[in-house]
């Protein structure tokens, strides 16, 4: 009987990062959240308000928005403008909510379930 190899947490995280990033860039139609530059989604990046190191907000759609290379990498995500745009989109309490969530320690994250969910969401977006 052949043994089924299970993927490591880092392999699952990498796979989820890839599909989640594609989904966010496609969801936002390739338009930068902070400067409004518009390009093909594949030319853009997935910018985070709360850094990716915090698993509780890493895949929170409110924390992730399409950004151009300049805003995301050169200008470190444009945090002031990002905060203004988040408040406009989600209301005044969003910054505090994301900051509160960042401190939640997340164990046993459902990577495989989220990979399926965001693969389906991405496929739905590109079909429409």
Q: Which two tokens stand for residue 66?
A: 């399409």
Cα angle: 54, vertex 108, 23; to 5 degrees:
60
- Supply φ then ψ for residue 25, to 5 degrees: -65, -40
Q: With CA atoms as reference, report the closest residue to 34 among 92, 77, 74, 63.
A: 77
- Whether the pTM exceeds 0.75: the reply is yes
The mean pLDDT value for 59-65 works out to 98
Q: Are 86 and 49 in contact (CB under 8 A)?
A: yes
Strand residue runs (E) in 83-127 = none
Percent of the chain with pLDDT over 70: 97
């Amino acid at each position: 009987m052949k043994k089924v190899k299970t993927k490591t947490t880092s392999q699952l995280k990498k796979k989820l990062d890839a599909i989640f990033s594609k989904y966010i860039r496609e969801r936002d139609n390739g338009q930068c959240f902070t400067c409004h530059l518009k390009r093909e989604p594949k030319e853009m990046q997935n910018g985070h308000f709360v850094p990716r190191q915090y698993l509780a907000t890493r895949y929170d759609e409110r924390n992730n928005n399409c950004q151009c290379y300049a805003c995301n990498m050169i200008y470190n995500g444009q945090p002031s403008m990002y905060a203004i745009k988040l408040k406009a989109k989600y209301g005044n309490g969003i910054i505090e909510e994301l900051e509160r969530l960042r401190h939640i320690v997340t164990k046993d994250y459902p990577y495989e379930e989220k990979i399926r969910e965001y693969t389906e969401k991405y496929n739905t977006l590109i079909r429409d």
